Structures are given as structure tokens and as C-alpha cells.
Amino acid sequence: MAKETVLVLGANGQIGTELVEALRMEYGNDFVVASDIRKPMEIHKGPFEIMDVMDENRLMEVVKEYKVTQIYHLAAMLSATAEQKIKMGWKLNMDGLLNVLNVAVECKVTKVFWPSSIAVFGPSTPKLNTPQTCYMDPSTVYGISKLAGEHWCNYYFNKYGLDVRSIRYPGLIGYKSVPGGGTTDYAVYIFHEALARGSYDCFLEADTMLPMMYMEDAIRATIELMEAPANRIKTRTSYNLAGMSFTPGELAIEIRKIMPEFKITYHPDIRQEYADSWPKSIDDSVARKEWGWQPRFDTARLVEEMMNHCKDLV
């Protein structure tokens, strides 16, 4: 098998931090180049390049220098932040992706991973068991950029044969890194606050059901999708992927099973509007059928893992 050299863009973020670690276990430290616009908080155990994905020439230089064969493009502006900075959000999420797709074609990169999101769905989308293909009317800048991005990926696959693969991540919950300004961030902060203060003031209503996934499942899904044979990847926009669905109220009940004194209050802000436009649960049967996706974590197991690991961080 030819040796792979992987470049991860946006490597210092919530997903990148964990993905780089997992990819380095898979391909070896020296063959995974981490990159971000910011310096890493911790010293990386392998190559690191400071780079702005908006700078296409620099991206091309790095791809050529390391003879990159795969790119994971994670640099983006997330839902809540992009609503505050509409033009910047659109520019980063769109031009960044187009730079990556162009450089990948130009430099004959064999595979590209780019994440989409459940934010591609909107108020008119069926909310329960949202199908892979359905009416999509995203109501946030972030969701609009993700839906357009999915179609750009499909375009580059059809026009240039670029092997680009994508997942519509639900809200991701992990303990190794902090979230970057999304609407599902409450489901990470709740554990840190529970352990630090015994209480949490939630920015969503108690009964707001959203699709979520434990980070370990999301990282495994990403690598499994990228390692699946190309002929099994029939969907070149982005795959629906489900882990679990819960409300803040239900999450609080699970936390109380471990910490009976835990208290939660609710003060919904603008993020309630974004959450209300998104699905409550996702039908991921196409991902299961085409490349064998199976989640491992349900809500009870997620809560147990988060409470255990976050305890060491407090």
C-alpha cells in the first residue's frame, strides 16, 4: 500500500485536536501534518504548520512540500459565531473549501474530507428521523454555507473525479477540547459546570431535542468513511450520521443518576432559534448500508464517560 501523508486544516479545534491524535496512531506521527491559523496550545507530536486556509498559495506550498495525499479540512466558522459575523463566516466557509478543493485537484491529492452539519436542514425539513435526501431550507449563514459546500464537493467529484467525502455531523461531545461556538456546545459545558459548580444555566429550553454524538464515535466514523473503498461511497454531497438524540432536560436526568444534587436552570438565548430549525433525530440508514456505519455510544454511556473524564480536568 502506498504511504499516506495526511494534512489536517483547523487542527487546533474541537474535532481537529482529537482527529490528529487518532490519525497519528493510524499513519504515524511524521505522516500527519497538523495545521491551523493559531499556534497549538500544546506541542504537537509531529509536524505542525501555521496556515490560513484563505491563502491558496501557501496551502499549495505545504501540500507540495509534504507530498500530501489526503486533506481533512476542518477550518470553519461555526453556527453561533457565523451569525455574528455573516460575511466573514460565509467567506471562510466557502472560499476556504474552494481553495482546498482546487489545490487538491491541482496537486492530485487522492482524498479530501470535509464536514457538513445538521445545520443544512431547516424549518421545513421533517424533524423526526430526518432522511438523507429531503427538503432543505437552512436558516443560518452556517447552514447555508454547509449546504452550498455539499454541492461544491459533489461538483468537484463529478467534474474532476476528486474523491471527496463528507459527514453531516450532529452536535459533538468530547472532553479533550473545548467547543468552538456552536449551538450544541451546551452538551459539553454542562459536564464541566456540573463538576465545577454542581449546577448549569442552559442557553436552550429543557425540551429542545437535538441529534448528538460522542466524539470517539465521530472520529471513528470519519476515519472509517475515509478508509472505505471508493466504490462504496455513492453519496458525494454528505452523509447523514446519527449517534443519539436528547434534550437538556433528559441529559440533566442522566447526570443526576451519577450526581443527584445537580441543578439545571434554563435561560434560552438566540441559539434557541437555530436549534428549533434543526432536526430532532436523524435517519442514517444510507451511511449504515453504504459503508457500514454503526454508533457505539448511547446517552447513558456518554454521560458516564464525560463525568469520568471531566472529573480529572476540574
- Site string (122-161) toward ligand NAD, x via CB under 6 A: ----------------------------------------
Q: Residue 285: which H helix or E strand, with range?
A: helix 285-291
Cα 56 from chain centre: 23
Considering the complex, what minimum distance in angstroms separates the CB of residue 195 from ligand NAD?
21
Is residue 142 part of the annotated active site? The answer reads yes
Nearest distance in Å: CB 90, ligand NAD? 13
Question: Which three three-digit cell numbers place residue 312?
Answer: 480529572
Question: Cell 468537484 belongs to which residue?
Answer: 156
Instruction: Select the span of 23-31, 32-40, 130-138, 243-251 touching ligand NAD (CB under 6 A).
Output: 32-40
Q: x/- site string to ligand NAD, residues 64 to 103, per CB under 6 A?
A: ----------xxx-x-------------x-----------
Q: Which three cell numbers stand for residue 229?
A: 473503498
> 170, 60, 75, 70: which is closest to 113 by C-alpha?
70
C-beta pairs of 53-57 under 8 Å, 24+ apart in sequence: 53/9, 53/10, 53/92, 53/96, 53/99, 53/100, 54/91, 54/92, 54/95, 54/96, 54/99, 55/99, 56/99, 56/102, 56/103
Output the smallest distance, CB 305 to ligand NAD, in A: 16
- 66, 142, 175, 239: the catalytic one is 142
Q: Which CB sits closer to ligand NAD, 52 or 137?
A: 52
CA-wise closest residue to 92 among 183, 7, 9: 9
Active site residues: 142
Binding site for ligand NAD (CB under 6 A): 9-10, 12-16, 36-38, 51-54, 74-76, 78, 92, 115, 117, 169, 171-172, 179-180, 182, 184
